[in-house]
Amino acid sequence: MSIPPFSTRLLAWFDDHGRKDLPWQHDITPYHVWLSEIMLQQTQVTTVIDYYTRFISRYADVAALAAADLDDVLALWTGLGYYARARNLHKAAGIIMAEHQGQMPATLESLIALPGIGRSTAGAIMALGYHQNYPILDGNVKRVLTRYAAISGWPGQKNIEQQLWQFSEQLLPKNRIAHYIQAQMDLGATICTRSKPLCSQCPLISDCKGFESGNPTVFPTSKPKKIIPLRQIHWLIIQSQSGLIHLEQRPNEGIWGGLWSFPEFESLDAAVAFYQQNFGTVPDNLIQQKPIRHIFTHYKLDIFPYLVHSSVCSQSITDYEGLDWHTRNNALRLGLPAPVKAFLKLLE
């Protein structure tokens, strides 16, 4: 008895077990697919749901997103991480309005030309938004395919990735492309999971080479480990007599690009020098706060916050127009790095 094709079994499984009620699966448009795919990069579905719902209620289409202030977009993104995603969304929306008459591009090449859209995201937009036969290769799909075919080697290697793209194209069905792509993602997220795959419930078990090997979790091959460096910085949290807090907007490029944060320094001496330069005196009441460790993808960051109750009062605040002052409540509405937001919530 012959085994039904890969796609046939996957679609039959999807009909019974696939996810069909996620927020971005209602009123599907290329814009909704784009937004959800960007949010889901490196982020769990359960985390994304609330962010997506808030975002789409504020920016219902490309035109609304393009017309928004980047600060407002980043504020909605606060806590979701990888803020370059939000900056690229905003920038791409502007390009779509200027160069594509406000319509999401409908070819793979024109989508990939937009900031922040790679081949897999473009494929998802084409398949889910336009029902065109294109594969995707996100983390879940890579795991399913490498296990199914027992493909060794880290998928981040160019030759392995190219092999997976070719394989994924070979497996594409002629019909129901949107359901098929969603089924691949769902199988990886719910059955073919990273550490404890539910092989007995998998529709592909009959010819899965990873299962046949007896140890499917060796696929995909893990990324070679690197020593994660540790950085240290010092924050200066300056609070005026009237409770205003000094924040600085970070450059658009780099970590936390475009977000608002406390002044950051490589040393405490540099922080004191900044205060003296701007206020004409050394701070006489530096209050050291509990250190914070924040983990990024490429390094760990130890933050040493110092609180200063400045002599600046509300009447003299205009003497410091070069500095940006915010009430605590207004500050919490800005685009903030997660540790800054957490600190502000604790600050009296």
264 catalytic per annotation: no
Cα–Cα dist 160/143, whole Å: 12
63 by DSSP, 3-state: which?
helix
Those residues with Cβ within 8 angstroms of residue 277's Cβ, 6 or more apart along the chain or in another chain: none
Cβ 181 vs Cβ 142: under 8 Å: no
Cα–Cα dist 216/329, whole Å: 50
- Neighbour tally for 253: CB within 10 Å: 9
Cβ 36 vs Cβ 128: under 8 Å: no
Residue 75 token pair: 């504020």
Among 37, 109, 212, 321, which one carries the catalytic annotation? 37
What backbone torsions phi and psi does residue 304 show, to the nearest 5 degrees?
-115, 100
Would you call 62 exposed, middle or buried from its count of C-beta atoms within 10 A (0-12, 13-18, 19+)?
buried
Active site residues: 37
